[in-house]
Structure 1
């Protein structure tokens, strides 16, 4: 009875502690994912003679590198947007007064041209301040949207800051932390528990590798396609595509927007070619390349990898992209232990 009471007390205290820090769990989760992915790099750096015993310096270098990897692209994107802000403001004032002229390509559509032309004339061809399509964009709605967007941005910055602090602490702990985790898992669940923890870490590393490698590949291929098609800022757009491609099925949003721009400019063949090429690249990457990379590192079947990525993202958000395959690894290990 004392053992049962102690177990209940420990579980209750753990749940209470998790409830207290529930607002910081996303930051801790992201820090753990990044630390697991970079753990082999950390061990290689520690093995170098120059960094022996300098765990704090190693932690600072890796944490600053992660911060710059996120901050620099965002800063570049904001800087590029600021250069375009003046022209965009002038264009917006012009369409408010004069509306948006209907492109000639609408009249040459194979079907639906009359319906599209009628809608365009009713909503966009006239001054936008009087257009029915703009009635919902009144001042109060814009202010409310700006307030929600600002609160969301502040929350993301706070989570990012706490993630960096947590990541620094994890890197500074180094091998002591990994050894303590393995020892705790082995003491609680036996040797199988330690092996299961290692398999879960391998699943997270494989998922990170699959998402990043495939995302960079898609961004590079589509960046070249943007340049050939004549899309402006092809390099920046390719980078945005690479970031979007790290999330399942998000890359089509970017290259479809680029194809739509080409279509509006009258370059129909380039627009269709870019859209078709983009969907082919995404289909091959999402259904074959990414599951193979993740499955080879975790020894998971293709279907479990796919279900783990999509189901994890739907259940836990972006963090679920890494939690899902790890849980599928646990399921696979438990199944093998059961049938043996």
Structure 2
């Protein structure tokens, strides 16, 4: 056998003799590999979110990185990976950090208000008496919210409200900074060595599952890329634009509403609900003109994003019906955390593609050969 060299590309070394291991030895080897894999995942468990986001961003940015590398091939070893990593830092990480600071400030204000309400109760506002059935509403408010005892009856968990200590906040910030640093490092090395990594993965997938497995893996990458481009990037843009609009219009807690708009924009008509909440807050504060302005500007942003920008980014292969988008996003976040915002829709998109192939509605590796018993396709 030829001894492999450490610089050989994946797939350049193959054994020239068959494997004479017994069935028991092969089974033992598979068990050992599974145990080693579980041990490795357990060892890296704290950094898996950073690695996952690095992979997701690398998959999403890879076409742009390749286009830049074709224009200047000498820069693909260092310059282009560093440039795209810096781009992610400037466009996503720093704005998200600024939004996180604003959200933390708003959250502290809300927490302080809740703590004060728990300690003193919430007095009945003056305008309640002028509303229809105001006396009944005032009586309900007095029994439910006006005293600490009433709030305790409303929620037994109210007594557990507490403020995070400064050391805990600093620890959380340091942990997030560490994860972001590893995410950026992962992104840089994947962009630099992405061709070699992708080639190795294709070889491993082909050996394990054949050509059908390679095509399914390619579709999974397209689903991840379409999900990131169509949901995350477009949602981030909508959240930033509307967050700025909320701030200029004077909406209370504009940062929180901007984050809410970005999250809900992944769901059809979700951003409309967030814009409606902001306009309702402005209307309740007596700023009718600002409320109308937010509604008009939000309608334009959502219409352009949903009908012109998102279809170009997401492509036709990964579009999902409304119900599946909603279930995929909520289930993904519940199961995987924030990264489930990408993993959930990507998994459901892959499953939908495989199902369409299996039933013959889409060309792909799982589309079986023609069966005479099935008959011709249904007319449209």
The answer, yes or no, to whether TM exceeds 0.5 is yes
Partner of 2:363: none
Partner of 2:185: 165
Alpha carbons 2:239, 2:261 under 8 Å: kept:
yes
Give the counterpart of 2:71 among 48, 53, 59. Answer: 48
For 1:279 and 1:54, how far apart are their aligned partners in 2?
A: 41
When structure 1 is superposed on structure 2, of 150-159 and 57-66 the one drifting more is 150-159
Partner of 2:28: 5
For 1:279 and 1:147, how far apart are their aligned partners in 2?
A: 43
Structure ranking higher in helix proportion? 1
Residues 186/266 of structure 1: CA separation in 2 closer, same or farther (3 Å cut): same
For 1:63 and 1:245, how far apart are their aligned partners in 2?
A: 27
Q: Give the greater-gyration-radius structure (CA).
A: 2
Tell me the TM-score normalized by structure 1.
Answer: 0.70
Partner of 2:342: 322
Q: Does 1:182 align with 2:202?
A: yes
Unmatched 5+ residue regions in structure 1? none
Tell me the TM-score normalized by structure 2.
Answer: 0.64
For 1:148 and 1:221, how far apart are their aligned partners in 2?
A: 32
Cα offsets for 1:274-316 (capped at 9, x unmatched): 6899799989989xx9799757133656654444333322321
Give the counterpart of 2:90 among 61, 64, 68. Answer: 68
* SS of residue paired to 2:317: helix
For 1:329 and 1:241, how far apart are their aligned partners in 2?
A: 24
For 1:19 and 1:292, how far apart are their aligned partners in 2?
A: 39
Partner of 2:328: 308
1:90-239 alignment, distance < 5 Å: 105-111=127-133, 113-114=134-135, 117=138, 142-144=162-164, 149-212=169-232, 214-215=234-235, 218-219=238-239, 222=242, 226=246, 230-232=249-251
Cα offsets for 1:66-113 (capped at 9, x unmatched): 1122343246558879999xxx9xx9xxx9xx99997664444345x3
Unmatched 5+ residue regions in structure 2? 1-22, 359-365, 370-380
Give the aligned CA root-mean-square deviation in angstroms: 5.1
For 2:96 and 2:234, how far apart are their aligned partners in 1?
A: 21
1:258 is displaced (CA, Å) by 3.1
Alpha carbons 2:332, 2:340 under 8 Å: kept:
yes
Cα offsets for 1:168-208 (capped at 9, x unmatched): 12112131122221222112211111111110010011111
For 1:296 and 1:10, how far apart are their aligned partners in 2?
A: 38
